[in-house]
Structure 1
């Protein structure tokens, strides 16, 4: 590390950390800013494992951070992709009700989408559904033509390039090991040396609660990792899915249920489920870290969450270990799908913040202190909203750190 003195150190080189870094140096060009990334490459965890969907703002409670960030961020993202020649596609999405018990929730989604200003949203019947997705089955659906897909790792890389061009420094293989107060600054220890910074912006994703604890921030949540496992459709089965096919979600959970997603590379993912991971980077069932598992098991909020949702948890576990059960759930949306259509896919790990009362945080949680801003929960639509979120974090940092705008 050639320069060790910084005004702001950003922990985490995912899409939100990099957006924040880019916006911070653009707004305050005289600041010395460093990004500290744990891995050898940027955007390798939640950014590199997400579905690539450009969400339009249907699911989110009007007035929530999710709604505000998504509605503000989606057009910013489209414009950014256009300006930087990043490939995307507005392929559209159908949210499909397969029985009458889901119709009330589908109507609620329509009302939310309209309230959030989603353009072109339409409630459709089976005939129109078959025109859009010929192989999908349902009694009614919500059609969102503006929903799309993008290459988020590429988006994150352009954020990083812009940040570097503005004079920012990026240090990979530099996880935050400890933070100590020294002489009015924060000494951030990494394997590559110590970074002295006046302030920290914590975008550490799966480790955000740990980084917050390093500077003795009182945090009332714990990151519980949930693994989402996917199958992929074999190339000869890609014709079964034209765009994005989703079920009507259960409002009790911040997960959308198994669905079909065509990504920007042309492949189709089917899933995910949502099962407890036994390490914070537990992308495989065999990925187990005893210390991290014990952190989860000794957290009172985990057991309160389990007491509320154990039936759903068992159902997700059964689906994880049984391809036939996974297939049964996938057939609710695509009755034609067969076991032969499915090939092993990848997995992602969601950094789900859980409160001490066992509540699954459904919205963004961003807190600020005098020395730091902490992004403690950044669920979907985090990637879609990354430009709007980055601007919001920079505004919080400007107020908390008393940064002076050069134009004022």
Structure 2
């Protein structure tokens, strides 16, 4: 075990709060801690050579409105608040962003009740929503077809990697890149000592775990049982060769039984249009294509009872996602439900992302953000989309808990 060094006057701490993970959530937590308690010494350990290399830097860049999320949930509260704050943050620091609005389009009659339910949910969450008939869809998206739609005006896009870099710069925290955590010694009466793969030892009073795809592993290193496992799902995207077909953001009506939004179209801040994602099981936590296989990580997923129970519950949905993954024709068919003008040749393979989805032992996919505490530790255990949108409120909540642990 890592030994905590004692001196005559007490323990020598390298920092007060040690954040593991240099994505947007970890950097937002560091930023919030130094804002709430100036003088608090914060260090951030990130295993990659720079910030935001995984979930933060490999998503569609959407500032979500919060319309999908159960009223009163952390996702609903933080996304609604976070969308407003993210736009202000980007404007203050000159980070590329745009409030574009988006359409959620019903293409089948059985989707209409779910669309109407989203209208009510949006209103309960305080989000302005406009209901559209089939003919009105063309006001926003001339090439999109559907039976009905809703327009959500507060949705936008931004450069989340730029946001993460600004949070790192503005936090005043010490950021250590290339620092993969391999061992943690936690002593509740003293603090934590962390060893990195390079052999460095960092001692802190409190550890904050924002390790994303590896958050459950870091939690177990501290001795805490997260009572969940991360099951990685790869999100596969195409780029639209004719971006002029789409003006803004176009989404299908989501299936409430599954925490993914379906294949959608997103015009990014660079003017390009991303189409996707599929959501298929990844064979590694950073498995950005089918060729990336890490047997130890795959075995860990298969050994978790919740993974098998989840598969039994959602196998029909999963089969459809796998089919669209291996068949470009099937993917094109899914897109054409929203955008009939698209052809196979319009879809150009693009980079993929991996979602860190927390799954409980009984197979439940954790739907809300999940933050747990242990002695001298705060663990962010489920923070997939819309975590980037909600990162500023999430960071403040993590900071509140970390500072309370310091006391």
TM-score range, shorter chain: over 0.9
CA distance in 1, matches of 2:405, 2:202: 21
1:41 counterpart (50, 53, 60): 50
Aligned residues: 394
Contact 1:368-1:400 within 8 A present in 2 as well: no
- Look up the match of 1:357: 362
CA distance in 2, matches of 1:396, 1:251: 31
- Look up the match of 2:395: 390
Contact 1:247-1:259 within 8 A present in 2 as well: yes
- Look up the match of 2:209: 202
- Look up the match of 2:8: none
Contact 2:284-2:298 within 8 A present in 1 as well: yes
Contact 2:119-2:150 within 8 A present in 1 as well: yes
Are residues 1:190 and 2:196 paired?
yes
Give how far 1:190 is off.
Answer: 0.6
2:226 counterpart (209, 219, 223): 219
**What SS does the corresponding residue of 1:387 show, helix, strand or coil?**
helix
Give how far 1:388 is off.
Answer: 0.8
CA distance in 1, matches of 2:285, 2:337: 31
1:353-385 Cα offsets, whole Å, 9 max, x none, are: 000000011110001122100000002111111
1:303-327 Cα offsets, whole Å, 9 max, x none, are: 1111111122122111110000000
CA distance in 1, matches of 2:305, 2:392: 35
Contact 1:275-1:313 within 8 A present in 2 as well: yes
Q: List, as ranges, runs of 4+ consecutive aligned residues in structure 1 with deviation greater than 6 Å.
A: none
CA RMSD of aligned residues (A): 1.2
Give how far 1:215 is off.
Answer: 1.1
Question: Quick check: 176-185 or 281-290, which moved more?
Answer: 176-185
Give structure 1 stretches of 5+ with no counterpart. 403-408
1:47-103 Cα offsets, whole Å, 9 max, x none, are: 000110011111010000000101111111111111111121111100000111001
- Look up the match of 1:405: none
Give how far 1:170 is off.
Answer: 0.4
Give structure 2 stretches of 5+ with no counterpart. 1-11
Are residues 1:148 and 2:159 paired?
no
- Look up the match of 1:275: 280
**What SS does the corresponding residue of 1:282 show, helix, strand or coil?**
coil
